[in-house]
Amino acid sequence: MSTLLEQLREMTTVVADTGDFESITKYKPQDSTTNPSLILAAAKMPGYAALVDDVLQQAKAEVGPGGSTKNITNTAFRHLAVAFGRKILSIVKGRVSTEVDARLSYDTDATMTQAREIIQMYETGGVSRERILIKIASTWAGIKAAEQLEKEGIHCNLTLLFGVHQAVACAEAKVTLISPFVGRILDWYKKETGQEYKGAEDPGVKSVTEIYNYYKKFGYKTVVMGARFRNIDEIVELAGCDLLTISPKLLGELDASEGKLERKLDAAQASQASIERIEMNKDIFEKMHAENKMANEKLAEGIKGFSDALVELEAYLESRLNQLAAKA
């Protein structure tokens, strides 16, 4: 009998949630996605030291003589994200997601500027923008930035998505893809209620199912990529979703498990469901977001977490830069 991973690939695009090239090569996902935390973890691996050092030298040359260490490390972060992305694209057949600085999550113009810079770096390196998804936090400012970027042919992955209001706003903005965070929704409800949730009753699973069915009911082109799973049961309950981005650990568990995998999400069935349409504008978005305690808290927490990871990554790059200078 085929493994759960093999069966999942027949109904869902499998994406690797990692910056580790070896894991991507092992599990052969269609796409891959990274974030500052994943890049930091990968950058600290001894096998990637040469890549990190090359990026630092490139950033130092770009900033020029007299450039501050802060400017060099900030420039190096973007180059490192693109360097990892280019390497990943040499392994996967599809696309890679590369994240805009989370500290810009509430600044539409700054988000657009950095997204364009990232795309230019890829294109200068010979990579088509069609293979890149720019990851942006699902704030109203981020969604508006993505709406304009999509008009420029820059495809976006709206991340840190926890509520249907965020999903509806993204679809109306015609973004390419959204990443609802299944496991973090579960974490919040377990902490809030003290209850355990399993199978289809998992709040994260229920959230993604609601969003998927809404999109298919009203014919939106935006696709759904469930993310940040806590266990393979969550993945099994979302079989049939457009895409699922999965950590190497859970990919390994799926690859080692056999049994019949049933399709749980179905576009044809969803299109016939009785679902009420939700009107969306900034005022409605902000009202729904304020009323959704879970989404409100998890979005803010996620942005802070990615921002903190960037600070830690920049500190690590600064230490590597100092080591290189000492050797010169």
Which are the catalytic amino acids? 135
Q: Which amino acid is at 215?
A: Y
What distance in Å separates the CA atoms of residue 137 and residue 157, rounded to the nearest whole number? 9
Residue 240: which region, alpha, beta or left (left: phi > 0; alpha: psi -120 to 50)? Answer: left
Sequence-separated contacts (24+) of 276-285 with Cβ below 8 Å: 277/218, 278/164, 278/165, 278/168, 278/214, 280/165, 280/168, 280/169, 280/172, 282/140, 284/165, 285/140, 285/165, 285/166, 285/169
Cβ atoms 229, 247 nearer than 8 A = yes
Q: Which amino acid is at 33?
A: T
Output Rg (C-alpha) for the chain, integer angstroms. Answer: 20
Q: Are strands 96-99 and 31-33 parallel, antiparallel or unpaired?
A: parallel
Q: Is 225 helix (H, G, I), strand (E, B) or coil?
A: strand
